[in-house]
Chains A and B, each alone.
Chain A
Amino acid sequence: MMESLQTLFGSSWPVVWTLAKIVAIVLPLMIAIAYLTLAERKVIGYMQVRIGPNRVGYFGLLQPLADGIKLLMKEIIVPTASNKGLFLLGPVLAIAPAFAAWAVVPFDATLVLADIDAGLLYILAMTSVAVYGVIIAGWASNSKYAFLGSLRSAAQIVSYEIAMGFALVGVLMSANSLNLGKIVTAQAGGFWHWYWLPLFPLFIVYFISAVAETNRAPFDVAEGESEIVAGFHVEYSGMAFAVFFLAEYANIWLVCMLAALMFLGGWLSPVPFLPDSILWLFLKVGFLVFCFLWFRATFPRYRYDQIMRLGWKVFIPITLVWIIVVGAMMQTPWAYLFH
């Protein structure tokens, strides 16, 4: 069948085939994002002894669809005093990197769209670009609440990116590669060989920084409903508003996927008698995403100066010290523990 398709499209086949692969990644991702919103409301509902949405469809399963249709039907209001071009560019810049980063994410030993050597760097670059959506949206809205939200977000993301980057430096020192697939295969050997154990401080720093990078509770001062209404997206309505939320949830999936790949062995099986499978990856990512919802239901919002202190004075020193520890241990007979 592949050959017949190949002859049908002729020289444009590589383009068509790549597009098909992109659709095969983005479509399930969109569905996962939609159902993450439902999962969030359900999980937090049960944690607060409520039921959560249960009206639309059995068990509320059609709720994300209903929300999507509602948001599509709503009018996108562009404030008169806003900078119109940038106002509409904001949501686009927020969601584009969130999807573009998935190009190098491996789902299996062979299942990856672009198997590039600098994959980890590419992902770091893409997540660092994501902040522009928030900044531009906040500035272009020409509203004080939105502007305060975007300033908070910019400072927060830039601060936590450093800790996150250093945490990843430890991973690439251990794996000897920037290729995500090779990082996973370097962890082969079961539960106790995954990098969460030798790089435990980096794992914790990475995961908490990931929560801060995605602007999620308890680090959601960029939205801060009680102080600045809704932060950077206070002026947005309809689908423009929804795009910000899609970007946020896409980023949650992305950072959890990265944590699973780099610290929890990706698709590798935790025990030797079960085969490696993509299902393990989904299980690990699912657990990490659940932790995000759990955090939101558990912790009160951090104060802004506390966030900055945690990022600069706690996380960055921890990562620096642990990188030195890993580097020093590499020169000792116990180096095998860190590979």
Chain B
Amino acid sequence: MIFQDFVFYTLAAILLIAGLRVITARNPVHAALFLVLAFFTAAGIWLLLEAEFLAIALVLVYVGAVMVLFLFVVMMLDINLDRLREGFWSYLPVAAVVGVLMAVEMALVLSGRYFIEAAAPVAKPAGYSNTAELGRVLYTDYLLPFELAAVLLLVAIVAAIALTLRERKDSKFIDPAAQVQVKRNDRVRMVSMPSYTEPEAEQAQQEPKP
């Protein structure tokens, strides 16, 4: 147990530092990379809780896909930090109020009667697979919420595509099917040219025309 505590506190410290650096790093790419680190250590903590499916899914989805696209965009931006920091002091009171409100809300939830500290979960036997267990629960007990979430995501996907879908006039898009079906005669015109011309004819060509 000592070792597990040690691992937990190490991961938790890295997670907190990484989370802090996400909002304090001056360079947006560094901030995004710290967010990657935060996801990774969070996955480590979940592994410690024997939730290996969630941990791996976190790495797979957030680190492997979402953050890659995030970095992709952030890397191409040329962000002027000074302009972002303009009006810091004028926004501070509002931000402070929102921050304090969030802290109070969290304190209410954590100290209230809804958040009873659960007993430490009993370690599962060696053959227990929480991947299979999660799949079984999702497709039996929680089938309707699961399908609703899936439909919601589908709507979001369709909406995102519909938002970006527009016919561009200057697009140089070529239909691959048409490309494949091109025959030689569509592109090349065979011209019959004599390889040798008479010297007199050459001279006559070189003379300037009247």
Chain A interface (Cβ < 8 Å from any Cβ of B)? 86, 116-118, 121-122, 124-125, 128-129, 131-132, 135-136, 139, 147, 150-151, 154-155, 157-158, 161, 178, 306, 309
Contact = CB atoms under 8 A, between A and B. Distances in A.
Bin the interface of chain B by size: 20 to 34
Interface stretch (B5-13, B60-68, B98-106, B115-123): B60-68
Contact of B72 (A86, A155, A161): A155
Contacts of A124: 56, 60, 64
Contacts of B59: 125, 128-129
Contacts of B48: none
A139 B29 contact: yes
A117 B53 CA distance: 10
Contacts of B69: 158
B71 interface: yes
**Is chain A's interface secondary structure helix, strand, loop, or mixed overall?**
helix
Contacts of A135: 68, 71-72, 75
B75 A118 contact: no
Contacts of B132: 117
A117 B68 contact: no
Contact of A309 (B33, B56, B176): B176
B129 A117 contact: yes
Contact of B36 (A122, A132, A157): A132
A132 B69 CA distance: 11
24 contacts: A86-B33, A116-B52, A121-B57, A121-B60, A121-B131, A122-B56, A124-B60, A124-B64, A125-B56, A125-B60, A125-B63, A128-B59, A128-B63, A128-B64, A129-B59, A132-B68, A135-B68, A135-B71, A135-B72, A139-B75, A150-B75, A154-B71, A158-B65, A309-B176
Contacts of B60: 121, 124-125, 128
Given A128-B63, A161-B65, A121 B71 contact: no
A150 B68 CA distance: 11
Nearest to B174: A305
Contacts of A154: 68, 71-72
A157 to B, nearest CB: 8
Contact of A151 (B29, B56, B72, B131): B72
Given A117-B131, A309-B176, A125 B64 contact: yes
A118 B72 contact: no
Nearest to B40: A129
A334 B108 CA distance: 57
B169 to A, nearest CB: 18
Contacts of B64: 124-125, 128-129, 131, 161
Given A147-B75, A155-B72, A121 B56 contact: yes
A161 B72 CA distance: 16
A132 to B, nearest CB: 7
Given A135-B71, A139-B29, A139-B75, A118 B65 contact: no
